[in-house]
Structure 1
């Protein structure tokens, strides 16, 4: 008996005859393998039948039998071409049609219902059902029964059908028909079991892969839960530490200002005053960083509350511009305002809007040398927009989304050349989202960047708490 590895190698070779689109689905793949197996079995059985058929004594009957069987074998091989074209329905029905024509001819020439090959009609619905589907099987079952019934009724009604068989030939043909039918049924059963075993192996492999995937998913879910818990703990820790650090920093800033005033009153301590001012500037820089961290953690935890009031955004932008004029002059930049006159008042948290604008204008001036920074204000009855445009170094297209991630700048070289922590834009995006708006950026390397802040004219408190998802840092 053929061992399983040999059988599987044989099945793999046969599978190469099946087109790719039929191999993708396990059901059509199995039916295609069965179709090829049936074609092969029919070819073998038909070829084997040529031997006993050639022993028929009557020349006319022998010629008819050999021509009929040989023609059916040749025409049946066209089923492989139909299968290669991807049509199981056409291949199965073609095979059944050729066999039906051969069997009916043998029945009509061999005595009607008494013909040895009448029993072979029982193969047709089995073949059609396996290859072409249940409907084809039912159709060929009806055709086979109708054919036998028609022959019986015709013969019972007195219609004489030719019977070219003598007793010895009848016995031989009956033996061949029964043997061929038995071989085909056995072949189909064995082939079906072989393909079923292969399908079971594939199912077992798929089940093992699914079980592994489920385990990996559980591990990933557990890791995600741990990350969420760690992120919450991180936010709580940063918020607490930020408060703890701000208190002594404010004291340092206050005392440094007092020391500068005292040294100025005494006179003759210019070197010390410069040193104390450096301490004061570093302290303010560190305080700004802590403030950004605190804001970011409060937004992540949905604990940042907005205090909307009525204010004029044009007035706010003029105040911010006055703050940055000295820094712009230091970089030899031109800071210009282009404010629409008909914006009027809006209802928002002015402190948070000012924080966003300060971050954007500060970045624009920081990354621009000998250029222009323009702040525009536009609006309509529903929205107002703030544009911050510069002619600075620009941002590569593949880095635009990254600049809104915490502690991220364009690249390492910019981080070394320009000071900053990379928190400003991350805070801006989250604040704008919290206020019900959006921030957009367009940039070109070497030509500058343009940031657009789009906000509704009136902030409305959301019915549900706002939860802003951010990357862990």
Structure 2
């Protein structure tokens, strides 16, 4: 209790601006404690001198005033906190004066009070620290004090108020007081050192913990990088066979529909649906891994919110009708334009609509859009099974669903909501949920009307000169082979054999199975495909054939698609030929920045081919980008 009260008193005297720094606070605490107890410890000396000196006036009184003059320094520090340093210097000078005054009047150079002079540098450094100012000050006052005593010794006489032989008691009191004072200061200084040692040990422990955390962070980053690489490679490996599954199933489905083979149509539709479902899962996993790795880029554009809702409505209405649900669209006034990534926003809305249609039967699904100031709210409301508050806690986690029972009944991977939430957060917003079990759900996409470009677009690819050893014989052989295969397939499907009238398109990909599929798809669209699995020859083929468009795969060994694109755009003969990049990754921004006219996502199906070619026709003669 006493210790607490005393510590509170000491802290009360410490200036506020010095209390935050640990070392400064310790020095001020030393100053205050020494000034509280110093005069008390030295009190026996003036009392003894007053009683032993037959004529104590005025030298004993001057000594006493100097000793008790330390107490006013406490009030001065409290009143003038910014003047701590000059007040500490004045206190040290006052101590030196008291010691020298007592030494001069009682014993001179043989005075028992001279032992106190050792305290002046000790206290000065405790008060002021070991700055150069403190060092010069201490050295100067010690030198001047001792020089003054020695000058009196050489050129004057010391007064003899009390004979030296009668000052034994004064010497004992002086030695006792000085030792008590030093003991007290040393004990306090020892506690400071101990506390600093504990602090240093704590710092060492924290540094060790920091090193361990840094090491764990590095391991986690390496593991995350390995995971991202693994997912990207696996995504590519999965999409390659999926490309063949979806492409050939669509070709076979078209043939079956033309021939009226009903049983095969149903089977092929199941194959196509299963392939598309697997492709959606692969896409979601890849998108989530890109977001977690900070590599997901935004393509910010001006979006007509009304038209976007129209597009979503066209897709959402048949989706809702599958479970005999009614579909309602509510539009707020003045939806206007917004700046956002339309593809990612549309993807998030479709995910919410898909979930609503899945978990609602014979009910109502409502799509609501409104604008409030600088924010846009797009809500999907359903009258389905609802979600309890406990289940909502982990609803936006990867591979998480409301419950295992729901997953068993309705299926799904638990990636849609997590991906949608991450996409909205990437655009500066979020998805909010309101739901009760058995009473339906409301998912609201809350986005700023002006989405910031949080991630910069990839820089333009450098133009790399592309050398090739391809010659006309290789070109003619490749074209003849393509034409022969085209003619044979066209004859089976009832197409005209007059391929010379068809526009030529160049397809470059290292996967020969993909080239065969692309060839059949382009023939169906009444084009003459020229296919090559040698990217080194792409420039020479394009210069010779001058195709209407070039479809160029990105991931190829040796010269990849970016190198070929750079070479095509740097050559004056081929610079104006539209180029569509073929990719398993959504790299539209990078493709546009590198000079491509658009990007076609794998798997390569008829719908994407038609869309790409339609965009090509609509932009012919203009250098305008199209995204498919």
Match of 1:127 among 113, 120, 123: 123
Say if 2:243 is the partner of 1:236: no
Larger mean Cα displacement after TM superposition, 40-49 or 204-213: 40-49
Task: Return the offset for 1:166.
Answer: 3.2
TM (norm. structure 1) is 0.59
Aligned to 2:217: 220
Paired with 2:245 and 2:105, the residues of 1 have a C-alpha distance of 113
* Partner-residue secondary structure (3-state), 1:406: coil
Paired with 1:131 and 1:184, the residues of 2 have a C-alpha distance of 19
Paired with 1:309 and 1:219, the residues of 2 have a C-alpha distance of 40
Distance 1:341 1:92, change over 3 A: closer
Match of 1:440 among 430, 434, 437: 430
Mapped contact 2:96–2:145 kept (Cα < 8 A):
no
Unaligned runs of 5+ in 1: 1-10, 266-272, 468-473
1:183-227 CA distances to partner (integer Å, 9 max, x unpaired)? Answer: 479658965984686345653563355245324422431342133
Say if 2:337 is the partner of 1:358: no
Distance 1:35 1:443, change over 3 A: same
Say if 2:331 is the partner of 1:335: no
Paired with 2:50 and 2:217, the residues of 1 have a C-alpha distance of 72
Say if 2:459 is the partner of 1:464: yes
Paired with 1:398 and 1:75, the residues of 2 have a C-alpha distance of 74
Mapped contact 1:92–1:127 kept (Cα < 8 A):
no
Task: Return the offset for 1:373.
Answer: 0.9
* Partner-residue secondary structure (3-state), 1:376: strand
* Partner-residue secondary structure (3-state), 1:363: helix
1:136-171 CA distances to partner (integer Å, 9 max, x unpaired)? Answer: 78778877888899999999999x99x571324675
Distance 1:196 1:293, change over 3 A: closer
Distance 1:114 1:284, change over 3 A: closer
Paired with 2:456 and 2:56, the residues of 1 have a C-alpha distance of 97
Distance 1:128 1:399, change over 3 A: farther
Paired with 1:452 and 1:143, the residues of 2 have a C-alpha distance of 73
Distance 1:241 1:286, change over 3 A: closer
Match of 1:376 among 330, 352, 369: 369
Say if 2:207 is the partner of 1:210: yes
Mapped contact 1:359–1:425 kept (Cα < 8 A):
yes
Mapped contact 1:373–1:390 kept (Cα < 8 A):
yes
**Equivalent residues in 2 for 1:36-435, closer than 5 Å:** 42=38, 46=42, 49=45, 53=49, 56=52, 58=54, 61=56, 89=84, 96=92, 99=95, 103=99, 106=102, 117=113, 120=116, 123-124=119-120, 126-133=122-129, 163=159, 165-168=161-164, 171-172=167-168, 175=171, 179=175, 183=179, 187=183, 194=190, 198=194, 199=196, 202-203=199-200, 206-207=203-204, 209-211=206-208, 213-245=210-242, 247-248=244-245, 262=261, 285-293=277-285, 296=288, 314=306, 317-329=309-321, 330=323, 332-336=325-329, 338=331, 355-366=347-358, 370-376=363-369, 387-390=378-381, 393=386, 405-409=397-401, 419-428=411-420
Paired with 2:303 and 2:128, the residues of 1 have a C-alpha distance of 76
Distance 1:222 1:281, change over 3 A: closer
1:253-306 CA distances to partner (integer Å, 9 max, x unpaired)? Answer: 8889969x75679xxxxxxx8x99888866654454344345556777899999
* Partner-residue secondary structure (3-state), 1:358: helix
Paired with 1:223 and 1:168, the residues of 2 have a C-alpha distance of 80
